[in-house]
Amino acid sequence: MNIDKYPELKPGKKYIKRYYVAIMLWIVGRAIQAACRLDKEVIKEFSELPEKFTFSLGVLPDGPFMIIGKDDKGRAKYMGWNKGRTRFPLEMNIKSLEAAIKVFTFQEGTATAFARERFIVDGDLGYALAVVRVLNIIEVYLLPKIITKLAVKRYPRWSEFSPLRKWVNRILIYIRAFTF
């Protein structure tokens, strides 16, 4: 029997969408690293995670991914995109590239995406929630209000997110996320 007559089906390549999501993941990863040196809340969230904690955020079945770990000082460190076969204590994956596009074009906020079960979480749910809270803060920093408003339940008021803190940190996060 010629086994090659029955080819294995692999998911299509979808280059543009993959590149888009890969770039977004890179930006978010670098921004988390930057915010963990500037934003009180992000610093606090990370300080409460266990030592040497690492998590990956990515898209199934085969990427792209982004890996964040805690460095010796307990701060977030962007650790690249190559997940290989490593298993992390927390892995949060979006089920498909199509769903990832919805999330990263901000048509779906994180809460809605969770409610629609777009994410598969492998690992401790408490840690997953901490990561979600960090992602929500990052969203406010990275995106203009008009877009963030679509993705969050309620845009933080000035009192919750002081303008000074927002603008100063926003500029610094931009600079640090995009410079090597």
Partner 1 sequence: MILPKYSEFCGRVKTLSGASALEAIPGELKKMNSKKALIITDKGVESAGLIKIVKEAISKKGSKLTVGAIYDETPPDSDYKVVNSVASIYRNKNCDSIIAVGGGSVLDTAKGVNILVSLGGDNVLAYSGAGAVKQRLKPLVAVPTTAGTGSEMTLVAVIADHDRHIKMTFVSYFLLPDIAVLDPRMTKTLPASITAFTGMDAMTHAIEAYFCLGKNPMSDTTAFKAIQLVSKNILNAVKNPGDMESRLAMANAAALAGIAFSNSMVGLVHNLGHATGAVCHVPHGVCMSIYLPYGMEYNLHKVGDLIGELLYPLAGPEIFAKTPKKQRPRATIDYVRGLNEELKKATGGRHATALKDILDREGKQMVPRDAIPVIAKNAMGDGAKTYNPEEQSFDDNIMVIEAAWEGKPLDLKKIKKGPKNQKF
Burial track 83-108 (b if 16+ CB lie within 10 A, e otherwise): beeeebbbbbbbeebebbbbbbebeb
Q: Which C-beta is closer to partner 1: that of 18 or that of 96? A: 96
Query: Which of residues 74, 152, 172, 176 is near partner 1 by CB under 8 A?
Result: 152
Which tokens in the block code for residue 171?
């500029």
- Looking at residue 61, the DSSP 8-state letter turns out to be T
How many residues at the interface with partner 1, by CB under 8 A?
A: 27
Check binding of 51 to partner 1 (CB under 8 A). Answer: no
Check binding of 143 to partner 1 (CB under 8 A). Answer: no
Check binding of 129 to partner 1 (CB under 8 A). Answer: yes
List alpha helices for 13-83, DSSP H. Answer: 15-35, 40-47
Range in contact with partner 1 (rule: CB under 8 A) among 30-38, 54-62, 79-87, 106-114: 106-114
Query: Which of residues 128, 131, 137, 173 is near partner 1 by CB under 8 A?
Result: 128
141 and 166 in contact (C-beta within 8 Å)? Answer: yes
Cis peptide preceding 61, ω within 30 of 0: yes
Q: Which C-beta is closer to partner 1: that of 23 or that of 129? A: 129
Check binding of 135 to partner 1 (CB under 8 A). Answer: no
Check binding of 114 to partner 1 (CB under 8 A). Answer: yes
Residue 174 backbone zone (phi > 0: left; psi -120 to 50: alpha; other: beta) = alpha
The least CB distance from residue 3 to partner 1, in Å, is: 28
CA 161/CA 138 separation, integer angstroms: 12
Query: Which of residues 4, 8, 72, 160 is near partner 1 by CB under 8 A?
Result: 160
Question: What residue ranges bind partner 1 (CB under 8 A)?
Answer: 99, 108-109, 111-112, 114-118, 120-126, 128-129, 132, 149, 152-155, 157, 160
